[in-house]
C-alpha cells in the first residue's frame, strides 16, 4: 500500500512538472518582420490599399513609389443608374457572381462621377493591388522566367506585339463595403491588361485566390526607352497580399 | 472495487438471461463510461448513452468522425460555415455546446466554434459514446448540448500489425498502419494514418437563393498517435499517450493553410482498495494554424491554442452497487491570435463536482450531482445541479429521466476578437458578455424483444443568454462621400431565450441468418434566436433540419473457413430546412427573407470480402443514387455524384 502510494505520488508530481503553458515547438514557425531586404535590381511596394495608386519614376527609383489617392468624392454628388455614354472617370459599381460563376459574370449597377485621377508630373508605371498602368507605354509578355536569361538588349523584341493600356471599369476595385452582396465599386481608368496579368485574382472563393505569373514583361515607354519587369512576390513577409517585390531592369 | 465490478457484471448476466439473446446482440452488455465516469453496462447506465461500436465503425468504412456520425445518427449534420470550415449541428446545438473528447480528454483549438473534425480519425477507435444534453455533471462548459467521447482500443494480443488503404474519386487516398505489442507490464499501440483528397469543382444552376460553393477543397492529413500502458504493480495503471496531427489545405496555390496539433497526456489509475479508486491525469494539447508562403518559404503561425489540464477523480463503491464520485479539473487556456489586442489572452478555469450514483433497488437507480465551475476571466462562476434516473419497468424495458443545468462561459474569442472577415464585415468581441445558462430535460425508453431493440427519447433544452453574433450594424460613414472599407459590424451578444426540442426513435433488428437492420429517425425543432428586443438576428449557422433519418441493412455470411462476405447498405435522408436571412446585410431595414434549403438523401452500398484470416477487401459505392445538388449551398452534401471506393486491410500478424 505504501509503495503504491509512493508510486502514485511520484507520478502526480511528474504530471505537475510537465506543463508548457505557452506551447511548444515555436521553432517550427517563421517570424518575419515587415522589413524587406531587397537585392540589386529589386523594388518593393505595399500596394494592398484598395484606394490608392503607387507611382514609380524609373529615372528616380531612390524616391520610391509615390502614393496618390483614388478620388472617391462625387463630382456632382450624383449616382447614376446607367453607365455614362462614353468612358468617364468615376466609380462604376458592378455586381459580380462572386459565390458561383465568378468574376466573368457581372452586371452594371451604378455610376458615380468623381474627380479624375491625379498623376504625378513624372512617372513610368503605377500599381494598385494587382493592376498596373503605364504612362503612355505598351507591354509585351515574354516567355522568360528569369531576368538573367533575357537577351542583352530590348532590341530582341523589336518585332514583338506590344499592348497599350486599355479602358477598364471592372478590375480596379476601390469600394468593398458591399462585397457580401457581390457589389464592388471600381475606378474607371485605363490599365495595361498584359502587365496586370502578372497577378491574377480569382473569385470565388472569398477571400480571393491570387496566382502569380512569373514571366518577364517588356515595357516600351513613350520616350522610346524600354524596361523589363518581373513580379517576384506578391506578399509581405507577414503575408499581406499585394505587397509587390518586383525585379526590374531599366533602361533595357 | 472488485466486488462492485463483480456486482455490476453479475447484474448484467442476470439481465442477459432474462432478455435471452437481445442484450448481447445489441451490445447492451458493453461497458460505457462517459455518462458517469464509472464503468456501467450500456443497458444499466442511468444517463442515456448512444454507443457506436467498433463493428459499426468498420461497417461504415468511415475515415473520420464526420463520416461516421452522419451515417450512424439522425439529427447530426455537418455543413460549411464561411470559408468552407466544417460546422456541426447536433440536435440544434453547435460546436460551442458539443464537447468532443478522446478518452475523456478535451481538444484544443477551434475554427468558427468547431474543433478540427479531421483530427478525429477512426483508426484505433474502439467505440464512441454519445451523451446528449447537459445530463452529465462531469463535463461543464461547452457540454450543454452533449458529449461525444471517442474511446481508443486497448492492445489485447501479444503483437498485431495492421496495414490498410483506400482509394476513391478525386484522388482520395487513405493509408494507415497500427502496430501493437503487449507484455507482462507494458502494452503499446502506435498508429500512423495519412489521407489526401484533391480540390474539385462542382457546378450550380443559375440564380441560387443564397451563397453557393463552386470549389470543394480537399486536404492532406497526417495523424500519428502512440499510447503506452504500464502496469508496474497490481492495482496501479499508468497510461501515457502522445500524438501529432498535420493538415494542409490549398485554397490559394501559393499559400497553403496548415493546421498542426501536438498532444500528450499522462494518466494514473490507482485502485486504492476494494472500494476506492483514484485517477489523476494531465493533458497537454496545442493546436496551431499557419500559412505557408511558398514563394518566400515562410511558415507563419497566426493562431495557437494551448490547453494544459490537470484532473483528479475519486470513486468510492459500496457493495450495494452505489457509487460516490468526486473530482476536480484545472485548465490553463492560452490563446494566440493576430485578431486579439496584444495578440494573446489566457485564462484559468477550475471546476469541482460530486456525484452520487444511488442504486436504490433492482428497479431504480438515481444519479444526483452538483458541479461548480469558475473562469478567471471576468470571474464567471456557477453551480449546476444534475439529476438522472433509470427505472426498470420490466426486465427488458428501461425508462430514463434526466434534468441537467448547463453552463457556458464566453470564450476568449467571443470576448476579445476583432476579426475582419475579408473586408466583408468585422466580427467584434464583446467583453461584457454574460455566461449562458441552460436547462435540459430528457426522457427515454428502451425495450428489447428477442431480435428487436426499440429506443425512444425526447428532450427539451432552453438556453438563457445564448451567445451569438447579433444584428449587423454600420458605423458612421468615413469622411469620404462613399464608405471605402468595411464598416459593417457583427457584435457578439447575449440573445434572448433560445430553445430546442425534439426526439428520436430507433428500431434495430438482428436475425440469426446474418441479416441485421437499423432505422433511426430524429425530429429537431429549433426556436430561432432573437435578440433581447425580439428582433430577428443574423443566424450565423443554418438551423437543424426538422426531420432526419438514417437506415442500415447488413448481411454477413461466412461461406467457408477462408471466405466471408459482408454486404451493407446504409443511407440518410434529411428534410428541407428554412432559414431567416437578411435581404441586404448592409441595409437591414430591407427586412428578411426565408431561404429554403432542399431535402436530400444519400446512400452507400459496400461489400467487404474477408479472405483468409488476414485480408479484407472492400468495394463501395458512395452516393449510390448519383445525387448531384442543383445548388451546393453550405448545408448541401458536397458531392458531384457517385463515388467508387476500393479498400484493402491486411493483418500482417495473421499471415505469420
Kindly provide the ipTM of the predicted complex, given to two decimals: 0.80
Helix, strand or coil for residue B181?
strand
Q: How distant is the alpha carbon of residue A15 from its chain centre?
A: 51
Q: Between B236, B296, B298, which is nearest A7 by CB? A: B236
**Roughly how many angstroms between the first and final C-alpha of chain A, as a whole number?**
87
Dihedral in degrees, nearest 10, Cα atoms A170, A171, A173, A179: 60
Q: Which of B482, B475, B471, B493 is nearest to B585 (CA)?
A: B471
Sort out which chain A residues have CB atoms less than 8 A from B212's CB and list them.
Answer: 99-100
Dihedral in degrees, nearest 10, Cα atoms B165, B169, B172, B177: -10
Spatial separation of the C-alpha atoms in residues B68 and B294, rounded to whole Å: 35
Q: Between B299, B422, B485, which is nearest A177 by CB? A: B485
Spatial separation of the C-alpha atoms in residues A9 and B280, rounded to whole Å: 10
Dihedral in degrees, nearest 10, Cα atoms B5, B9, B12, B13: -160
Q: Decide if A21 and B306 are in contact by the 8 Å CB cutoff.
A: yes
Q: Decide if A11 and B238 are in contact by the 8 Å CB cutoff.
A: yes
Given this model, what pLDDT does residue B97 score?
85
- B192 class by beta-carbon count within 10 Å (0-12 exposed, 13-18 middle, 19+ buried): middle
Q: Decide if A12 and B266 are in contact by the 8 Å CB cutoff.
A: no
A92 within a domain of the structure (yes/no): yes
Q: Decide if B300 and A74 are in contact by the 8 Å CB cutoff.
A: no
Hey, which residues 178-197 in chain A have their CB within 8 Å of chain B?
178-181, 185
Distance from CA of B253 to the nearest CA of A (A): 7
Q: What are phi and psi of B85, to 5 degrees?
A: -90, 140
User: Alpha helices of B288-423 — where are they, by DSSP H?
Assistant: 412-416
A2 within a domain of the structure (yes/no): no
Report the helix count and the strand count for chain B, using DSSP H and E: 5, 40
- Contact of A162 with A138, CB cutoff 8 Å: yes
| Cα B194–Cα B196–Cα B198 angle in degrees, nearest 5 | 175
pTM of the shown model: 0.86
Structural domains in chain A (count) = 1
Out of 2.40.170.20, 3.40.50.2020, 3.40.630.40, 3.40.50.300, which CATH number does the structure's domain B2-654 have? 2.40.170.20
Distance from CA of A203 to the nearest CA of B (A): 10
B206 Cβ contact partners less than 8 Å away, ≥ 6 residues apart? none
Q: Between B84, B304, B425, which is nearest A23 by CB? A: B304
Given this model, what pLDDT does residue A31 score?
83
Region for residue B379 given its phi and psi (left: phi exceeds 0; alpha: psi -120 to 50; beta: otherwise):
left
pLDDT tens per residue across all 252 residues of chain A: 666 666 666 666 665 566 578 888 888 898 877 778 889 999 999 999 999 999 999 999 889 999 999 988 776 656 777 888 788 888 999 998 877 778 888 999 999 888 889 999 999 999 999 999 999 999 999 999 999 999 999 999 989 999 999 999 999 999 877 777 788 899 999 999 999 999 998 877 767 788 899 999 999 999 999 999 999 999 888 778 899 999 999 998
B212: contact with A, CB 8 A cutoff: yes
Nearest CA in chain A to B262: A24
Q: Decide if B291 and A239 are in contact by the 8 Å CB cutoff.
A: yes
Tell me whether the omega of the peptide bond preceding residue A51 falls within 30 degrees of 0, making it cis.
Answer: no
Distance from CA of A153 to the nearest CA of B (A): 28
Q: Decide if B298 and A32 are in contact by the 8 Å CB cutoff.
A: yes
Nearest CA in chain A to B235: A4
Hey, which residues 225-254 in chain B have their CB within 8 Å of chain A?
232-233, 235-236, 238, 251-254
Spatial separation of the C-alpha atoms in residues B373 and A194, rounded to whole Å: 62
A88: contact with B, CB 8 A cutoff: no
A4 within a domain of the structure (yes/no): no
Given this model, what pLDDT does residue B243 score?
94
Q: Decide if B300 and A99 are in contact by the 8 Å CB cutoff.
A: no
Q: Decide if B485 and A50 are in contact by the 8 Å CB cutoff.
A: yes
A26 within a domain of the structure (yes/no): no
Q: Decide if B254 and A212 are in contact by the 8 Å CB cutoff.
A: yes
Q: Decide if B84 and A205 are in contact by the 8 Å CB cutoff.
A: yes
Hey, which residues 101-120 in chain A have their CB within 8 Å of chain B?
101-102, 112
Spatial separation of the C-alpha atoms in residues B188 and B154, rounded to whole Å: 9
Spatial separation of the C-alpha atoms in residues B248 and B270, rounded to whole Å: 41
Spatial separation of the C-alpha atoms in residues B626 and B624, rounded to whole Å: 5
A23 within a domain of the structure (yes/no): no
A225 within a domain of the structure (yes/no): yes
Sort out which chain B residues have CB atoms less than 8 A from A181's CB and list them.
Answer: 584-586
Distance from CA of A158 to the nearest CA of B (A): 32
pLDDT along chain B (656 residues), means of 10: 42 38 60 77 82 86 86 88 82 86 89 86 88 74 84 92 95 95 93 95 87 89 95 91 94 88 94 93 94 87 93 93 93 88 88 92 92 90 91 90 90 83 74 91 91 92 87 58 57 86 93 93 85 68 90 94 94 92 74 88 95 95 94 91 95 91
Spatial separation of the C-alpha atoms in residues B526 and B314, rounded to whole Å: 38
Nearest CA in chain B to A70: B484
A223: contact with B, CB 8 A cutoff: no
Helix, strand or coil for residue A157?
helix
Nearest CA in chain B to A78: B481
Count of Cβ atoms closer than 10 Å to residue B260 Cβ:
22
Distance from CA of B229 to the nearest CA of A (A): 14
Distance from CA of A157 to the nearest CA of B (A): 29
Q: Decide if B254 and A210 are in contact by the 8 Å CB cutoff.
A: yes
- Contact of B112 with B84, CB cutoff 8 Å: no
DSSP assignment, residue B362? Answer: S
Sort out which chain A residues have CB atoms less than 8 A from B334's CB and list them.
Answer: 21-23
Sort out which chain B residues have CB atoms less than 8 A from A239's CB and list them.
Answer: 255, 291, 293, 298, 300, 302
A90 within a domain of the structure (yes/no): yes
Q: Decide if A235 and B252 are in contact by the 8 Å CB cutoff.
A: no
Sort out which chain A residues have CB atoms less than 8 A from B480's CB and list them.
Answer: 72-73
Q: Between A3, A12, A237, which is nearest B296 by CB? A: A237
Distance from CA of A89 to the nearest CA of B (A): 16
Given this model, what pLDDT does residue B267 score?
93
Sort out which chain B residues have CB atoms less than 8 A from A19's CB and list them.
Answer: 282, 284, 308, 332
Range of the domain at A39: 33-249
Nearest CA in chain B to A37: B296
Amino acid at each position: 500500500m505504501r509503495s503504491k502510494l509512493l508510486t502514485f505520488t511520484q507520478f502526480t508530481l511528474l504530471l505537475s512538472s510537465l506543463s508548457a503553458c505557452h506551447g511548444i515547438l515555436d521553432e517550427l514557425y517563421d517570424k518575419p518582420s515587415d522589413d524587406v531586404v531587397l537585392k540589386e535590381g529589386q523594388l518593393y511596394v505595399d500596394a494592398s490599399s484598395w484606394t490608392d495608386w503607387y507611382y514609380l519614376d524609373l529615372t528616380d527609383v531612390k524616391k520610391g513609389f509615390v502614393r496618390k489617392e483614388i478620388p472617391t468624392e462625387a463630382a456632382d454628388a450624383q449616382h447614376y443608374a446607367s453607365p455614362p455614354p462614353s468612358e468617364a472617370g468615376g466609380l462604376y459599381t458592378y455586381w459580380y457572381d462572386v459565390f458561383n460563376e465568378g468574376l466573368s459574370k457581372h452586371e452594371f449597377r451604378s455610376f458615380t462621377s468623381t474627380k479624375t485621377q491625379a498623376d504625378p508630373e513624372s512617372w513610368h508605371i503605377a500599381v494598385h493591388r494587382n493592376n498596373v498602368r503605364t504612362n503612355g507605354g505598351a507591354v509585351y509578355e515574354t516567355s522568360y522566367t528569369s531576368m538573367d536569361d533575357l537577351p542583352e538588349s530590348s532590341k530582341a523584341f523589336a518585332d514583338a506585339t506590344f499592348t497599350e493600356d486599355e479602358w477598364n471599369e471592372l478590375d480596379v476595385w476601390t469600394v468593398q463595403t458591399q462585397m457580401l452582396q457581390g457589389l464592388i465599386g471600381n475606378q474607371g481608368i485605363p490599365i495595361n491588361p498584359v502587365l496586370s496579368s502578372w497577378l491574377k485574382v480569382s473569385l470565388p472563393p472569398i477571400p480571393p485566390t491570387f496566382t502569380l505569373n512569373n514571366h518577364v514583361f517588356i515595357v516600351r515607354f513613350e520616350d522610346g526607352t524600354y524596361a523589363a519587369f518581373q513580379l517576384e512576390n506578391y506578399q509581405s513577409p507577414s503575408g499581406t497580399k499585394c505587397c509587390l517585390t518586383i525585379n526590374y531592369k531599366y533602361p533595357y | 472495487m472488485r466486488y462492485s465490478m463483480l456486482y455490476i457484471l453479475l447484474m448484467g448476466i442476470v439481465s442477459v438471461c432474462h432478455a435471452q439473446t437481445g442484450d448481447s446482440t445489441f451490445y447492451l452488455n458493453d461497458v460505457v463510461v462517459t455518462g458517469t465516469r464509472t464503468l456501467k453496462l450500456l443497458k444499466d447506465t442511468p444517463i442515456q448513452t448512444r454507443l457506436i461500436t467498433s463493428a459499426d465503425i468498420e461497417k461504415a468504412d468511415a475515415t473520420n468522425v464526420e463520416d461516421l456520425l452522419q451515417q450512424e445518427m439522425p439529427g447530426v449534420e455537418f455543413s460549411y460555415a464561411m470559408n468552407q470550415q466544417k460546422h456541426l449541428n447536433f440536435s440544434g446545438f453547435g460546436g460551442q455546446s458539443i464537447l468532443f473528447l478522446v478518452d475523456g480528454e478535451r481538444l484544443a483549438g477551434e475554427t468558427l466554434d468547431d474543433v478540427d473534425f479531421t483530427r478525429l480519425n477512426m483508426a484505433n477507435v474502439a467505440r464512441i459514446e454519445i451523451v446528449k444534453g447537459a445530463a452529465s455533471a462531469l463535463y461543464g462548459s461547452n457540454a450543454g448540448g452533449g458529449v461525444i467521447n471517442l474511446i481508443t482500443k486497448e492492445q489485447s494480443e501479444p503483437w498485431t500489425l495492421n496495414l490498410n488503404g483506400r482509394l476513391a474519386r478525386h484522388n482520395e487516398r487513405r493509408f494507415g498502419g497500427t502496430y501493437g505489442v503487449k507484455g507482462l507490464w507494458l502494452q503499446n499501440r502506435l498508429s500512423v494514418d495519412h489521407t489526401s483528397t484533391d480540390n474539385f469543382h462542382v457546378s450550380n444552376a443559375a440564380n441560387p437563393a443564397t451563397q453557393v460553393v463552386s470549389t470543394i477543397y480537399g486536404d492532406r492529413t497526417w495523424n500519428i498517435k502512440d499510447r503506452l500502458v504500464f502496469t508496474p504493480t497490481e492495482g496501479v495503471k499508468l497510461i501515457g499517450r502522445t500524438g501529432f496531427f498535420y493538415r494542409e489545405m490549398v485554397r490559394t496555390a501559393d499559400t497553403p493553410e496548415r493546421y498542426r496539433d501536438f498532444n500528450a497526456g499522462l494518466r494514473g489509475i490507482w485502485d486504492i482498495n476494494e472500494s476506492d479508486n483514484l485517477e489523476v491525469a494531465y493533458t497537454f494539447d496545442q493546436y496551431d494554424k499557419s500559412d505557408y508562403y511558398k514563394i518566400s518559404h515562410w511558415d507563419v503561425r497566426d493562431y495557437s491554442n494551448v490547453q494544459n489540464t490537470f484532473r483528479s477523480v475519486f470513486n468510492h463503491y459500496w457493495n450495494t452497487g452505489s457509487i460516490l464520485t468526486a473530482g476536480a479539473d484545472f485548465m490553463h487556456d492560452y490563446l494566440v491570435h493576430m485578431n486579439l489586442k496584444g495578440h494573446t489572452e489566457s485564462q484559468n478555469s477550475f471546476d469541482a463536482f460530486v456525484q452520487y450514483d444511488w442504486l436504490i433497488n433492482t428497479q431504480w437507480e438515481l444519479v444526483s450531482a452538483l458541479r461548480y465551475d469558475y473562469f478567471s476571466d471576468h470571474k464567471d462562476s456557477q453551480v449546476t445541479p444534475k439529476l438522472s434516473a433509470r427505472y426498470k419497468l420490466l426486465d427488458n424495458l428501461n425508462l430514463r429521466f434526466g434534468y441537467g443545468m448547463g453552463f457556458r462561459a464566453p470564450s476568449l474569442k467571443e470576448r476579445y476578437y476583432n476579426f475582419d472577415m475579408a473586408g466583408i464585415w468585422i466580427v467584434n468581441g464583446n467583453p461584457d458578455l454574460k455566461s449562458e445558462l441552460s436547462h435540459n430535460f430528457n426522457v427515454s425508453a428502451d425495450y428489447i424483444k428477442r431480435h428487436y431493440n426499440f429506443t425512444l427519447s425526447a428532450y427539451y433544452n432552453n438556453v438563457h443568454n445564448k451567445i451569438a453574433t447579433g444584428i449587423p450594424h454600420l458605423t458612421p460613414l468615413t469622411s469620404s462621400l462613399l464608405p471605402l472599407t468595411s464598416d459593417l459590424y457583427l457584435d457578439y451578444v447575449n440573445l434572448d431565450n433560445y430553445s430546442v426540442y425534439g426526439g428520436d426513435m430507433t428500431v434495430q433488428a438482428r436475425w440469426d441468418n446474418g441479416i441485421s437492420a437499423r432505422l433511426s429517425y430524429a425530429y429537431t425543432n429549433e426556436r430561432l434566436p432573437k435578440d433581447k428586443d425580439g428582433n430577428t438576428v443574423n443566424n450565423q449557422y443554418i438551423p437543424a433540419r426538422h426531420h432526419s433519418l438514417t437506415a442500415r441493412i447488413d448481411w454477413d455470411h461466412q461461406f467457408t473457413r477462408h471466405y466471408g462476405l459482408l454486404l451493407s447498405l446504409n443511407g440518410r435522408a434529411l428534410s428541407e430546412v428554412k432559414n431567416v436571412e437578411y435581404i441586404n446585410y448592409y441595409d437591414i431595414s430591407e427586412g428578411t427573407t426565408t431561404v429554403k434549403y432542399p431535402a436530400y438523401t444519400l446512400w452507400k452500398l459496400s461489400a467487404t470480402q474477408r479472405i483468409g484470416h488476414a485480408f479484407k477487401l472492400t468495394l463501395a459505392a458512395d452516393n449510390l443514387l448519383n445525387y448531384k445538388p442543383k445548388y451546393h449551398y453550405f448545408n448541401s452534401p458536397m458531392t458531384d455524384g457517385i463515388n467508387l471506393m476500393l479498400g484493402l486491410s491486411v493483418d500482417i500478424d495473421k499471415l505469420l
